Every structure is written in structure tokens, then in C-alpha cells.
Amino acid sequence: MTRAYQEITYTAPLSNPLELDAYLAPDPGDWRVVVFPGTPCNKLLYTRFLRTAPRGLEVVVITRPGFGKGHDAVFTDFSEQVAAIKPFLPSSVEGGGAFAEKKIITLGVSYGGELALKAALDFPGAVKGVVTVAALIDEPHDYALRLEQLGGEAKLEPYLPNRWQKVRAEVAGRRAQIGPLLQAIGGLDKPVEVLHGDFDALVPRSNAYRLMEALGPDANLDIITGGTHYLELQYPRRLHRAIERVIARAEG
């Protein structure tokens, strides 16, 4: 059966509170998966993922800070980005409890993969497990790097859309934060599923291998044959099954 979802707005308790929007597929079950999209953030890419979500699982896809309606600023700090999900966490978390109390799985795609892991570190009592999808852990393919560098050319920069400038800022800003993140997740005592397509034209699957080296023994790697960078569009049910595996392991 096709799931229904709705667009909601809420106030995210960042250092300066920020109005955000999200897609919500509500469910009375005990579990909620909170999705961090990649960059540029576009929650429209997740409509098929929402419609095919299994019963018993509530799904939230947020518009990340910087990409909401009327957002002019760019948010490159991981901690500020993950603070955006606080209202969907239990009330035991400061800023949490605006929505029904549920157990939380975070799922992050591409740049969002780092944020899903960061959320598990920042909110260890609330986040019970993590799924990463095509996570940008190291660097994208060379041609994507060249596009990023080209965007910094003084002659071109004034003509780039603000959305692309934000992408460049996020990709560059993560580099100083990724080392400490990889060190920290070695002690992560949560089940983690790492998904990556073997035909990903943006983020090499070597990123998945590096992530697995950093994670502890409770991580599982799933290299998807024929999978592109957009697994949420291509194989949404593979993502749902990964979430179900995390829940099964979290429940012991």
C-alpha cells in the first residue's frame, strides 16, 4: 500500500532558531527514521522513499538549514546541522519532544551521511542506529572536485547561483570536520548500515570502505550492484530493509 505524507513546518533550535520544513509520513509505531538529504538539499528526491516506507515506521525528511524557504545563510558546522532534528527526538533531549515520543534511526545520504553519524554521537541516548547511503566521507570523483574548484574562479563566482555557492561551502567546510568525526565514530556503540552503489558517479565506493575502517564491529557494508548515487530513487526498498536490519539489531 502506498504511504501518505505531508509537508510540515517547525522551528529548529539552532544557536539562532530557524524555521524549517520537512516531509512527514506519520505512523503510530514505535520507530521514527529522520533523513538528512545531501547537498544541494532537495527533499523532493525522497517522495518515492516516503511512499514505499513500511508500516510501523514513521519517516521524516528534513530540509536542512540553509536550504529552507528564505534562507540566505549557509550552515557549514555539523553541530548546527544536526540540531535541526531536535524537535523529532525524545523530550529527554534539550529542544526535543515537539512530536510524538519514538525511538530514532538517522539516515543520511551523501553529505548527509556524515550528519547522520554526527547525530548519533551528539544524541547517544536518543539515536539507536544509523544508515548511511552513498556517504561523502573522503572526496567525490575527480571531475566533481574540478567543478567545485572551477566555482571558486573569481571571474565565475559572481554568476553562480546562491544554491551552488552553498554546495561549495558545505563540501569545503566538511574537510576540517571529517577527521574528528571519523575518530569519534570508532567508539560508536550503535548498529550502522553502510550502503553504496558500485555505479556511483559522484562519490566513489572507496568512501564506503574508509567509513567501514573507522566504524566499530557493529557496522555492516552493503555494496549494491548497479547502484547509482541516488539509491533513494533507484532502490528505496533496499534502504527500508537496511533500516529494518538496524532496528532488529538495536532491539537485540
- Report pLDDT digits (tens) over 107-117: 999 999 999 99
Q: Which three cell numbers stand for residue 240?
A: 527500508
Q: How far apart are alpha carbons 142 and 135 in whole angstroms?
A: 16
Q: How many residues does the chain have?
A: 252
**Per-residue pLDDT at 159:** 41
| The pLDDT of residue 149 is above 80 | no
Query: Could you tell me which CATH number the domain at 6-250 has?
Result: 3.40.50.1820
- Where do the structural domains in the chain lie, given as residue ranges? 6-250
Secondary structure letter of residue 39 according to DSSP = S
- Percent of the chain having pLDDT more than 90? 85
Global pTM value: 0.93
Average pLDDT over residues 137-161: 60
Coil, strand or helix at 30: coil
Question: Average pLDDT, stretch 18-33?
Answer: 98
pLDDT digits (tens, 9 = 90+) for 152-163: 545 545 545 577
At residue 124, the pLDDT reads 97
Determine the average pLDDT of the residues in 200-223.
95
Rg (CA), the chain: 17
The Cα–Cα gap between 245 and 78 comes to 26
Single-letter amino acid code for the residue at 78: F
Is residue 72 within 8 Å of residue 149, measured between CB atoms?
no
